[in-house]
Amino acid sequence: MLLQGQGTALITGASSRIGAAYAERLARRGYDLTLVARNRGRLDTLAARISDETGRATEVLPADLTHSQDLGRVEAVIKQDATLTMLVNNAGMGATAALLQSNVGKMTEMIALNVGALVRLVYAAAPVFATRGKGTIINISSIGAIAPEILNGVYAGTTAFVLALSRSLQHELGDKGLRVQAVLPGATSAGFWDTTGKPVRNLPAEIVMPVGEMVDAALAGLDLGELATIPSLPDIADWDAFETARQRLLSNLSHPHSAARYRKRPAHA
């Protein structure tokens, strides 16, 4: 039985792992799909299977989001597709090597994809959704956003950017019907690890979550109205405490004079 249509979800990095899992789950929730990734063959295979299994319309849009022309084509689809109701920013690169052992060129490329391309797509989608009074943006971040010590620092910085941007979007446009979620997965059985040269099989099994379970949890968090979803976090009270502490800082982040501890320093001997 075909579910009532929910509009179209555009998913980047959709050809495998996390992106493919989102495609499958969202189709079963009643979304038609526009699938974006570099590999046309994988996209076609995935689209055909999902369409056969769910009856949802699926379109493929092969694109390398680090190339300006390809990125521009995806932006145009987002702006022009009147059926679009959801954007899932999943495309990204990762790194696990220590900061000084990482190639700066690769780090720059990672910033261009994880930050630059994501910003362009957000800027394409957010005004459209706000004007319509309805739309959802899901940004895939990482636990590195709040724990940069455990992964490559540049990668963690890009994920922290994604979390900060998601907060700002919700703050500015939440009352205009835009729903925003940042997803902060821990280790998952996804391609991230293989591409960083640290295969997932080398990680302790007790910290690795299956991709499907991670995406199911993320969508459950979306249903609960969470701005930030950490699929493996046992007690949401821990996040609430973290957020409460952050909010307490806000009123003291800008004053006309420096804090007393910086003005009452002992003289140097």
Give the residue numbers spanning the domain of 196.
Answer: 8-263
The pLDDT of residue 241 is 97
The pLDDT of residue 203 is 59
Q: Assign 120 a pLDDT band (cuts: 50, 70, 90).
A: very high
Q: Assign 98 a pLDDT band (cuts: 50, 70, 90).
A: confident
Choosing from 22, 31, 123, 155, the catalytic residue is 155
CATH of the domain at 77: 3.40.50.720
Residue 201 lies in a domain: yes
Q: What is the mean pLDDT of residues 199-222?
A: 82
Residue 1 lies in a domain: no
Q: Assign 204 a pLDDT band (cuts: 50, 70, 90).
A: low
Is residue 155 annotated as a catalytic residue, yes or no?
yes
Residue 84 lies in a domain: yes
Task: Give the predicted TM-score (pTM) of the model.
Answer: 0.91
pLDDT single digits (tens) 36-90: 999 999 999 999 999 999 999 999 999 999 999 999 999 999 999 999 999 999 9
User: How much of the chain, in percent, has pLDDT values that exceed 70?
Assistant: 90
Cα–Cα distance, 212 to 71 (Å, whole number)? 27
Place of tokens 């954007």: 87
Residue 3 lies in a domain: no
At residue 196, does pLDDT exceed 60? no
Residue 269 lies in a domain: no
pLDDT single digits (tens) 157-180: 999 999 999 999 999 999 999 999
pLDDT single digits (tens) 126-154: 999 999 999 999 999 999 999 998 888 89
3-state secondary structure of 86: strand
Residue 2 lies in a domain: no
Residue 23 lies in a domain: yes
Residue 133 lies in a domain: yes
The pLDDT of residue 86 is 98
Q: Assign 205 a pLDDT band (cuts: 50, 70, 90).
A: low
Number of separate domains in the chain: 1
